Amino acid sequence: MARQKELKLYRNIGIIAHIDAGKTTTTERVLYYTGRKHQIIEVHDTKDGKGSTTTDYLEQERKRGITIQSAAVSTEWKGYQINVIDTPGHVDFTIEVNRSLRVLDGAVVVFDGVAGVEPQTETNWRLANQYNVPRICYVNKMDRMGANFGHCVKGIRERLGANALLCQIPIGSHDEFVGMVDLVAGVGYVWTADDKDSPWETVPMDQLAGRFTFASSADNQWLADLPKLREDMLETALAMDDDAFMNYVETGEFDPAKLKECIRLGSVTGKLVPVFCGSSFKNKGVQQLLDAVIDYLPYPGQNGGISLVDEDGNNVGEQEVRDDAPARALAFKVINDQFGSLTFIRIYSGVIKKGDSLANVTRGKKERVGRIVEVQANQTKDIEEARAGDICALVSMRETETGDSLCDPAHPALLERMRFPDPVISVSVEPKTRGDQDKMSQALYKMAKADPSLKLEVDHETGQTVLRGMGELHLEVTIDRMRTELGVDANMGKPKVSFREAFGQSVEHIYTHKKQTGGSGQFAEVKIRFEPGETGSGVQWVDEVTGGRIPREYIPSVEHAIRTECKSGQVAGYEVVDFRAVLLDGKFHEVDSSALAFEIAGRAAFREAHKLSRPKLLEPMMRIEVVVDSDYLGDVIGDINRRRGQVVEQGQKGTSSFVQGFVPLAEMFGYISFLRSATSGRGTFTMEFDRYSEVPNSMVEKMMEKEGR
Ligand SMILES: Nc1nc2c(ncn2[C@@H]2O[C@H](COP(=O)(O)OP(=O)(O)OP(=O)(O)O)[C@@H](O)[C@H]2O)c(=O)[nH]1
Ligand SMILES: [Mg+2]
């Protein structure tokens, strides 16, 4: 079957933002206006469980009124195929934004017109920078009291460092918000009603200031400034093309098609970030936003292809996005339920057909493509083939996990990997019904496989099953989804911080393992130097033994011993990270030495050396932002200091005050109750992992004492 639609007529885009900015509400409008659905469901009307928006279909999403997992929908607008991924804004589900951005070609960043740039917008913006995803901004909620376009644009420029290009200007705000000026076309769009089907009137730009007088002087000023704003936009945009710019400077004329081309070039290369506005809830500006997606966001491959890497992640080339090349795709999401699994892939090159065999290059395994489906949120439709640029799902893959490369077996290649966040919090989990341990373990394993920001472990000492994740909500939702999706009920213990341990200083240590009891004895001696490594450097193993001082066959046992023993450190049994272990020397005995003896020696050497190194304990340090009425600011700051925190910035956000700072996660449990009671329920906060930082010595000693070490 030939290609149905030219690649240039594709847009794969993500919708990203801070929690509650209106991503799902906007997606719902996109589906309505493009004719994909006939009824709009509001996010806040789904709590009774009767209805659901298309993309927030999970029970946990409906009940809480928030998005938890990214959902993909496809639609058509003016002959273009638009694939949209609606992502969650809550920090606990950042992995969903992460994996979506990895496979998308462009993004719409949504802002709450009142709150402006919020912490999670900054995080998602940084992620989009990392993955080089071009974006446009949409200042939503212009109908809310306190909506402030200027403040939001200032945030986009200053906090996000974007070269914002104002393509639209709002006409009025709050209950006087009636539409927007399109500076590119030089006209205003004015609505007379909020209804989803109400049409807009196109008004020449120079008539707007005469026609409207608003209660807010700022709103009037925007209209008075329109000629200047348009001039600024034209100059910035046309500067993308020397000839067009010179022509404009000399004659004051420009070709409208050329202008759009310039904005598109600026946006696709990341030099410009076009800004739009509207109110999705009041049905204003969504169609215009769709036009902008087509006009200014790239088609698959327009920005280059995907990097190919070697096993160590080094760049070794690039795969262009084209059909006539070997099939290469990246698995970016796996969903499980009682009926099987769906593996979402983004195809970068070639064609994948039903019945094909693919190589999972990441795992060195073969996979057969039984069924290919197009996914519309929670609905699937079987298709025969999919090709370069497509996002689709494969049914019941056996070996493939998130982040794996799937390729034509004759042309294997590894595609650039995805990066996953570190889990910082853990809970013990036990089955609700005794005897269901196996069932629960299998279900948890499935959940963890589908979500790379979850880790499943067994506590060495207590034998308890431990689940690690990004935050309390993340773990709670995981356990709840296990119940609704896999039918397994479990109880969670109290959440705990995931500490880590490290070597305090370099230590050279000799350990001799000797046992002579009757018959054959055991003998092994190792001399190892342990050195603290840089953050994120992992465990590095170096073998410097020369002259057969330890026979070759025993050395892997020492390495294995170190790599397993480091899972439990000497401060409080947490994993020891970021160190180099250099095996320097050793001794053996012709008869009594064995792999086991060397393993025992390696383990003991590690334990003793770690204890001798004045080990450090590391704790997750969170970046927090608290937004409160200014009356409560003093209390909130005092409390942050009591929690071993540090305030780095405070200021005004609209009519509220905000404080930003760092607080150890260990001190943040139950923070929401404090904030509620301290601010009469009006304060809000967001918290996000920033780094691991050293726990003060006095606390380490206390902990070691408590653990009896
Ligand atoms: N006044 C007003 N409210 C809006 C607008 N857009 C969305 N909302 C409301 O804001 C709330 C959050 O909207 P959502 O669409 O769920 O926001 P989201 O960005 O998808 O949130 P998460 O997925 O949880 O991050 C809902 O109650 C919406 O009805 C808008 O343009 N104006
Ligand atoms: Mg949402």
Å from CA of 53 to ligand 2 middle: 9
Residue of 24, 40, 46 with the most ligand 1 atoms within 8 Å of its CB, for mutation: 24
Please report, for residues 23, 225, 342, 452, 478, the alpha-carbon distance to residue 470 in angstroms, rounded to integers and kept in the order given: 22, 46, 24, 11, 11
Measure 21 CA to ligand 1 centroid, in angstroms. 5
Query: Which whole number is the average pLDDT over 41-65?
Result: 84
Report how far residue 423's alpha carbon sits from residue 616's, in angstroms, rounded to the nearest whole number. 19
Of 182-186, 255-259, 343-347, 682-686, give the lowest mean pLDDT range: 682-686
Q: What is the pLDDT of residue 404?
A: 92
Question: What residues have CB less than 8 Å from 442, skipping those under 6 apart?
Answer: none
* Model confidence band, residue 380 (pLDDT cutoffs 50, 70, 90): confident
Cα(342) to centroid of ligand 1, in Å? Answer: 29
Q: Which of 23, 25, 86, 92 to probe ligand 1 with, by most ligand atoms within 8 A of CB?
A: 25
- Cα 22 to averaged position of ligand 1 atoms, centre (Å): 3
10-16 vs 80-86, strand pairing mode: parallel
- Residue 700 is which amino acid? V
* Ligand 1 centre distance from Cα of residue 231 (Å): 33
**Residue nearest (by alpha carbon) to ligand 1 atom 4:** 281
Query: Measured between alpha carbons, how far is 652 from 499 in angstroms, rounded to an integer?
Result: 34
Average pLDDT score over residue span 348-361 = 95
Nearest atom of ligand 1 to the alpha carbon of 67: 23
| Ligand 1 contacts CB of residue 28 (under 6 A) | no
Q: Please state, for a pLDDT cut of 90, what percent of the chain lies above it.
A: 68
- What is the reported pLDDT for 337? 67
- Ligand 1, atom 14, lies closest to the CA of 22
The per-residue pLDDT for 233 is 97
520 band by pLDDT with thresholds 50, 70 and 90: confident
CA–CA separation, 177 and 215 (whole Å)? 11
Closest ligand to residue 112's CA: 1
Q: How far, in Å, CA of 219 to CA of 221, rounded?
A: 5
pLDDT of residue 45: 84
Q: How many helices (H) and strands (E) does the chain have?
A: 18, 38
Sorted by sequence, the CB contacts under 8 Å of residue 237 that are 6+ apart come out as: 165, 259, 262, 263, 266, 272
Question: 556 vs 181, 586, 596, CA distance in Å?
Answer: 69, 14, 11
Which protein residue's CA is at the shortest distance from atom 8 of ligand 1? 22
Separation of alpha carbons 527 and 510, rounded Å: 4
Q: Is the CB of 144 under 6 A from ligand 1?
A: yes
* Ligand 1 mean position, distance from CA 359 (Å): 42
Ligand 1 centre and the CA of 19: distance in Å?
A: 8
Q: Is the CB of 118 under 6 A from ligand 1?
A: no
d(CA 611, CA 609): 5
Statement: residue 702 has pLDDT above 80: no
Ligand 1 in reach of 319 Cβ (< 6 A):
no
Distance CA 95, CA 452 (A): 8
- Name the closest-CA residue to atom 11, ligand 1: 20
- Please compute the mean of the pLDDT values over residues 543-569 and round it to a whole number: 94
Highest mean pLDDT among 136-140, 192-196, 380-384, 516-520: 136-140
Q: Which residue has the higher pLDDT, 632 or 336?
A: 632
Mean pLDDT computed over 12-29: 95
Ligand positioned closest to the Cα atom of 108: 1
Q: Read off the pLDDT of each residue in 192-209 and give the average, rounded to a whole number.
A: 94
Closest ligand 1 atom to residue 56 Cα is: 23
Mean per-residue pLDDT, 25-29: 95
Q: What's the rounded mean pLDDT across residues 459-480?
A: 87
In the predicted structure, residue 533 carries a pLDDT above the cut 80? yes
For residue range 104-145, list pLDDT tens digits in order: 999 999 999 999 999 899 989 999 998 899 999 999 999 999
Rounded to two decimals, what is the model's pTM? Answer: 0.85
Q: How high is the mean pLDDT of the chain?
A: 91
Q: Is 140 in the pocket of ligand 1 (CB under 6 A)?
A: yes
How sure is the predictor about 709, in pLDDT bands with cuts at 50, 70 and 90? low
- What DSSP letter does each residue of 531-591 carry, written as one string? EE--TT--EEEEE---TTSS-GGGHHHHHHHHHHHTTS-TTTSPPB-SEEEEEEEEE--TT
Distance CA 96, CA 225 (A): 40
Question: Ligand 1 centroid vs 293 CA: distance in angstroms?
Answer: 20
Residue 647 has pLDDT above 80, yes or no: yes
Find the 258 Cα to ligand 1 centroid distance in Å. 35
404 lines ligand 1 (CB under 6 A): no
Work out the average pLDDT over 474-498: 90
Question: Which is the closest atom of ligand 1 to the Cα of 18?
Answer: 25
Please determine, for residue 654, whether its predicted confidence score (pLDDT) is greater than 70. no
- Which amino acid appears at position 347 of this protein? I
397 within 8 A of 343, measured Cβ to Cβ: yes
Residue 20 CB–ligand 1 contact under 6 Å: yes
Instruction: Using the predicted structure, report yes or no on whether residue 312 has a pLDDT greater than 90.
Output: no
Ligand 1: which atom is nearest the Cα of residue 278? Answer: 31
Nearest CA to ligand 1 atom 13: 22
Whether 387 has a pLDDT exceeding 80, the answer reads yes
Neighbours of 448 (CB within 10 A): 18
Ligand positioned closest to the Cα atom of 280: 1
What is the C-alpha R_g of the chain?
A: 29
Q: Mean pLDDT check: name the lowest of 113-122, 355-364, 512-521.
A: 512-521
Share of the chain above pLDDT 70, in %: 98
Mean pLDDT for 646-671 is: 88
